[in-house]
Chains A and B, each alone.
Chain A
């Protein structure tokens, strides 16, 4: 993988159970607060429901958006994008005048969510909504295009848990290739019963709040949310005199070719994706200030990541933020990219919520308290169902990302 030009990040937006904005999320992370409990957005028959991380009510403000929608995934997406665009100082005139692409990662975009507006339950009359209509109603990419009247390239990435990271990596490639001036890139997913039931049936869902990297960990908890980064060409950014907030320096993607639901125990796909991201960024492991791990709390995932960190990144601090957010599936890579950028800006890493007891099988352990970090660069990685691995190298801007005088 050859070295690639960095791509500027001029805005970031995020919401999840930790908060309705990126700053609110970061406040919760550094305060050690987490909010999880039994599902309330769908009915659960079990007497001991497993915990989930739901976005608190009140985030959706329909009066702020031209597009009407009852899809929770779309609402999450539009809300995070609104924050990110405002952060980037990009309004409607710019969006409508420039080539603006949209690349969003999601699981199934809420298409099987029980709260889809036209969903018919068992025993109901046959619904008369076409597949195209349903797609248009719930697809977050299509919603952003319609809401902002955009005219650049579009893509919806559905690589499960790495979709958000993959979408950001792909969006950066569009900027480098000159396909558009700006990309709204990220990921979004709502909680839905099918995923909740499915992960429990696979027996990798913890019935207690998740404990990434902890010796007592039993699995993941699901969450929901959206993370959006605004990626912008240098030409457009300098045109409007906007400094970058951050940069995407590298992206790597690789498959495990091992199993549909279990990661390669040797972590070869993960190692390859990380190496590719580093090669593209021109950085070495020692250049990193920290790593935002995937850290789901499943025995296999955490073991594989810990071994990689020990072998390739000795001494580099890492944390899992899923103890604060749950596993937000298609949103995870993007939510955590936003967190990574915010942690670089603050020069500190939160404690890995849920971690307390070291596992003797894990050679590297995460932060157990808020930890100062120094440096301009960090890695954020995600491992997905199906053996997908995505690695992003993010950085704080250097001189090249300052606007022209």
Chain B
């Protein structure tokens, strides 16, 4: 089941587009934003890696965007950037499919509204607010904006949503259900997660800094996947697997570099130590984009940047790598990259990114 990435778009706390991500990988991320949380105990300030969707103005006027909330805007921007990257323009074929992955859901209300928003009253929600809170709202808005009518799926398996979505997209391509799939991942800054991180630092008497868990992030990534037929643009090949079981994922080869989704906060992260073969090169990039369930999408984007640049960038995850991490740039030398995520609620997922094979071989 061959699937290749023909284009990529992304937006996050580091900026927008693969070049901004590459810059952050090489030089470190910009300082995080400061977010003020209103709690029953008063206001607190927490760091956040927030995404700016101002680039949408290059693709659409405000009127077309007026009903879209921040969550959908991030997802849409990532799609438009990926289509632009692939040279498709803004009118992809109608048969294009969409698989959207999210961990928190459409407006982040799923976990927030009954948490920190103590004066939220769901009975006062507007119809528009309710409609936009349905998990598949962003995928619906994207398909309407682009006028694409292919298969359309939204997946929420928390922090395993991205490998699940990528695996589904590959299946669609293999079954001939569609020729191209926009695999979109999006999550909005979670005030509840930020509050829990804040409390964790207090409880562990840990100051903000390199040793602290990654700040809470938000953003979106979109990969335009195709079946890799002759003549199609292929940046990288991609495969994915996800399992509910705690057993280790299928190991890579001797030429695998591991990108670990360790954010320093999620449970089960000790498993990375057992799963990465001793001595195997490993990196963590969560500090570049922040702690969010769809982080594996950013790791896959980092893998794509790595392959494109031909060099492995040093780890940016503090001490969260289980073995001594890659600490200086080094040539990639033809290696593949496996993004590994321990599911905080159990299970694991992997997304493997490799150089494209020569055309014609499926």
Most buried by A among B111, B131, B136, B168: B136
Most buried by B among A116, A121, A126: A126
- Judged by a CB distance under 8 angstroms, whether B130 is at the interface is yes
B191-227: contact bitstring with A at CB < 8 Å (1 yes, 0 no)?
A: 0110110010000000000000000000000000000
* Chain A residues in 8 Å Cβ range of B196: 128, 130-131
* Chain A residues in 8 Å Cβ range of B136: 158-160, 384-386, 388
Partner of B137, one of A102, A132, A155, A260: A260
- Judged by a CB distance under 8 angstroms, whether B27 is at the interface is no
Q: How large is the interface on B (under 10, 10 to 19, 20 to 34, 35 or more residues)?
A: 35 or more
* Chain A residues in 8 Å Cβ range of B174: 177
- Judged by a CB distance under 8 angstroms, whether B271 is at the interface is no
Which one of B3-11, B139-147, B252-260 is at the interface? B139-147
- Judged by a CB distance under 8 angstroms, whether B88 is at the interface is no
A160-183: contact bitstring with B at CB < 8 Å (1 yes, 0 no)?
A: 100000100010011011000000
Query: Bound state CA distance, A159 and B97, in angstroms?
Result: 14
Asked if B135 and A108 sit within 8 Å, CB to CB, the answer is yes
Asked if A173 and B175 sit within 8 Å, CB to CB, the answer is yes
Partner of B345, one of A121, A135, A159: A135
Asked if A202 and B131 sit within 8 Å, CB to CB, the answer is yes
* Chain B residues in 8 Å Cβ range of A174: 171
Asked if B140 and A386 sit within 8 Å, CB to CB, the answer is yes
Q: In this complex, what residue of B is CB-closest to A255?
A: B152
Query: Bound state CA distance, A281 and B5, in angstroms?
Result: 30
**Which residues of A from 105 to 119 have beta carbons under 8 Å from B?**
107-109, 111-112, 116, 119
- Judged by a CB distance under 8 angstroms, whether B36 is at the interface is no
Query: Bound state CA distance, A4 and B175, in angstroms?
Result: 8
A386-404: contact bitstring with B at CB < 8 Å (1 yes, 0 no)?
A: 1110000000000000000
A-B contact count (CB 8 A): 231
Which one of B17-25, B50-58, B73-81, B119-127 is at the interface? B119-127
* Chain B residues in 8 Å Cβ range of A176: 175
B202 to chain A, nearest CB (A): 12
Partner of B154, one of A159, A257, A261: A159
- Judged by a CB distance under 8 angstroms, whether B104 is at the interface is yes
Asked if A154 and B243 sit within 8 Å, CB to CB, the answer is yes
B310 to chain A, nearest CB (A): 33
Asked if A194 and B105 sit within 8 Å, CB to CB, the answer is no
- Judged by a CB distance under 8 angstroms, whether A348 is at the interface is no
- Judged by a CB distance under 8 angstroms, whether A238 is at the interface is no
Asked if A201 and B125 sit within 8 Å, CB to CB, the answer is yes
Query: Bound state CA distance, A45 and B344, in angstroms?
Result: 38
A268 to chain B, nearest CB (A): 7
Sample of 19 more A-B contacts, CB < 8 Å, known A255-B150, A385-B134, A386-B137? A108-B110, A111-B105, A125-B40, A126-B116, A131-B196, A141-B157, A141-B244, A142-B157, A142-B345, A153-B241, A153-B243, A155-B164, A156-B157, A158-B155, A159-B136, A193-B122, A197-B123, A198-B131, A201-B125
Q: 19 pairs across A/B with beta carbons < 8 Å?
A: A1-B175, A107-B135, A112-B114, A126-B115, A128-B196, A130-B196, A142-B157, A142-B244, A153-B243, A154-B164, A158-B154, A158-B156, A201-B130, A253-B151, A255-B150, A257-B148, A259-B144, A386-B137, A386-B152
Question: Residues of A at under 8 Å CB distance from B?
Answer: 1-2, 4, 45, 102, 107-109, 111-112, 116, 119-128, 130-136, 139, 141-142, 145-146, 150-160, 166, 170, 173-174, 176-177, 193-194, 197-198, 201-202, 253-261, 268-269, 272, 276, 384-388
